[in-house]
Structure 1
Amino acid sequence: MSMQIPQVTRHPDRQSGMTLIEILVTVLVLAIGLLGMASLTVGSLKNNQGAFLRTQATILAYDMADRMRSNAAEAISGSYDGATTNTTLSAPSCGTNGCTGAERVSADIFAWKQQIEGANGNMAMLPGGEGAISGGGGATNAGTAFTVTITWKEDRWNETKDSMSTEDQQTVVGFTL
């Protein structure tokens, strides 16, 4: 008994396969999807940059708070009060026995300024960064409140202007000694 293989007959008036229009629609849908993915990637990179800058500002603020804790007597007496990085500072010259408390204040603020502004060929940790310290004010006992403020410039989307603009951002750390 022999088995017969059915013959496929093609009708000349029927199409088989995909048409050019179907291919073009597929390419268009794929292109829109890829543009959406690119937009998400760019937005993610911008958000990551902002998070990085906030992290750097927090590190710098806590660095100064730790410096002040290690020189608590000078901090409580008000030596750090009113210090800012937007003033001209020179490197302190500590003696061979190390820095005195007052020299340590100058050294701390000078090093902090260099970190924020990227002095001596180092890269600035924050674009347009500035630091300020307030508090202290001559108290003679522990419990004095201090505030360390770091300000920097960051490009952000402004809903009111419907465009990108450079705006000041700020991190504030408060602590007591």
Structure 2
Amino acid sequence: MIIRTDRPLLLGSYARSGNHQSGFTMIEILVTLFILAIGLLGLAGLLFEGMRNNQGAYLRTQASILAYDMADRMRANGAEAEAGNYGGFSTANIQSTTPPTCASQSAGCTATDQVTLDQIEWTQQVEGTGNSMAMLPGGTGTIAYDAGTGIYTVTVQWDEASRGGDAGEAIAGDNSYSVRFSL
């Protein structure tokens, strides 16, 4: 076998020339990790905002349930409600959350005592006082009555972090739910 020495071997010259690249460089890996990190931060932001919106929807649903619960209580005690005896009430101003004694008696409550019982039970649900669990964080409820029109307004408010709008403005009234009705 004759070996020619005037031509370099292909394998040997290729390995010595430095033109062969094998694998990624450190800069390419760092750029890839940076892009991946930005994408993951965006995904985390979307998840956080989605959970916050879901919690806000849950609280608005609870407020709706509470407002309609009081409206139904007033409709059930129609004579007292038509007289306006439920109006001017706020859960923040209630003196005692102890139900009247008629609540535990078999004969039940009179229509006037039923107003007090309804207000106390509603306060316990809204604020979570007594042995009841609060349905809303920092919840308060008010009942207003317009004697001229005969319209009740039941409003439930709660504490919630305000959300920003499209242009960065705060959304007002996002933590309040009102029901207006007449008997």
**Which residue is 2:50 aligned to?**
44
Alignment size in residue pairs: 162
Q: Supply the RMSD in Å over aligned alpha carbons.
A: 2.6
> 2:129 pairs with 119, 143, 148, which one?
119
TM-score, normalised relative to structure 2: 0.78
Higher mean displacement: 75-84 or 11-20: 11-20
The alignment partner of 1:155 has SS state of coil
The alignment partner of 1:26 has SS state of helix
User: Take 1:76 and 1:25, find their aligned partners in 2: how far apart are those partners?
Assistant: 72
Checking the alignment, whether the CA contact within 8 Å between 1:80 and 1:136 is kept in structure 2 is no
1:64-103 superposed Cα distances (whole Å, 9 cap, x missing partner)? 0011111111100111011211121331121431111111
Checking the alignment, whether the CA contact within 8 Å between 1:151 and 1:168 is kept in structure 2 is no
Checking the alignment, whether the CA contact within 8 Å between 2:90 and 2:141 is kept in structure 1 is yes
User: Take 1:9 and 1:46, find their aligned partners in 2: how far apart are those partners?
Assistant: 63
Higher strand fraction (1 or 2):
1
Checking the alignment, whether the CA contact within 8 Å between 2:141 and 2:154 is kept in structure 1 is yes
1:118-158 superposed Cα distances (whole Å, 9 cap, x missing partner)? 11243321122111111264x8xxx8321101111211246
Extract structure 1 runs of 4+ deviating beyond 6 A: none
> 1:100 pairs with 85, 107, 110, which one?
110
User: Take 1:170 and 1:33, find their aligned partners in 2: how far apart are those partners?
Assistant: 36
**Which residue is 2:21 aligned to?**
15
TM-score, normalised relative to structure 1: 0.80
1:168/1:103 CA distance change after superposition, 3 Å: same
Larger radius of gyration between Structure 1 and Structure 2: 2
The alignment partner of 2:23 has SS state of coil
1:80/1:20 CA distance change after superposition, 3 Å: same
The residue type paired with residue 73 of structure 1 is A
Higher helix fraction (1 or 2):
2
Over the matched positions of the two proteins, sequence identity in percent amounts to 48
